[in-house]
Structure 1
């Protein structure tokens, strides 16, 4: 799993890490039982403070996506991320787009515009 950050982004570093790990789980790059890099190792490799990584991991733990265990580190849970709401929203967006004659490419463009800071 490749994790990168953009120091020029307006999104906080911990938020970027949360997004990167969520994306990796949703894509299936990491799954239940997979261990994430230790906070110390990840912070060192990215050149950021270890507490920034711990804040991201705590956020993911609070969402139920990972477990934090002393001596074991951060492990993706069997639950991972609950994608049901995301999938339902995506289906709804596609349905509305179809009713209005919006192409998938146009929806992508709209989503990219909304995601940009």
Structure 2
């Protein structure tokens, strides 16, 4: 598993880490039962503070995407399955928006209106 961040992004690092894990779950690269790398390993690999990664993992836990247990680490839950099921729908929507000439920002705004 490769967690990606963009140091130039205005998004907080913890949010980027969580988004990277969500994206891997949505694309099927992470499946229920898969273990995430230890927070310490991620922090070392990215050159960020351990607490930054722990906050990302806690946010994912609060969303129900991962289960955190002592001795087991962070494990992907069954909540990853619906994300993966939606991925194809989202990809189709993005293709349709591109075909209609809509920008990604416009599409994102339309999606946000339908919360």
Shorter chain as normaliser: what TM range? Answer: 0.7 to 0.9
Contact 2:32–2:81 (Cα < 8 Å) also in 1? no
Aligned match of 1:103: 99
Larger radius of gyration: 1
- Give the CA RMSD over aligned residues: 3.1
- Structure 2 gaps of 5+ residues are 109-115
Identify the residue that residue 71 of structure 1 maps to in structure 2.
Answer: 71
Task: Please give the secondary structure, in 1, of the residue aligned with 2:33.
Answer: coil
Q: TM-score if structure 2 supplies the norm length?
A: 0.76
Match of 1:23 in 2: 23
- Choose between structure 1 and 2 for higher RCO, CA contacts under 8 A separated by at least 6 residues: 2
How far off is 1:83 after superposition?
3.6
The aligned residue for residue 34 of structure 2 is: 34
TM-score, length of structure 1 as denominator length: 0.75
Give the number of aligned pairs. 107
State the Cα deviation string for residues 39-91 of structure 1 (Å, max 9, x = none): 0011001100000000000000000000001111000002226449x67x859
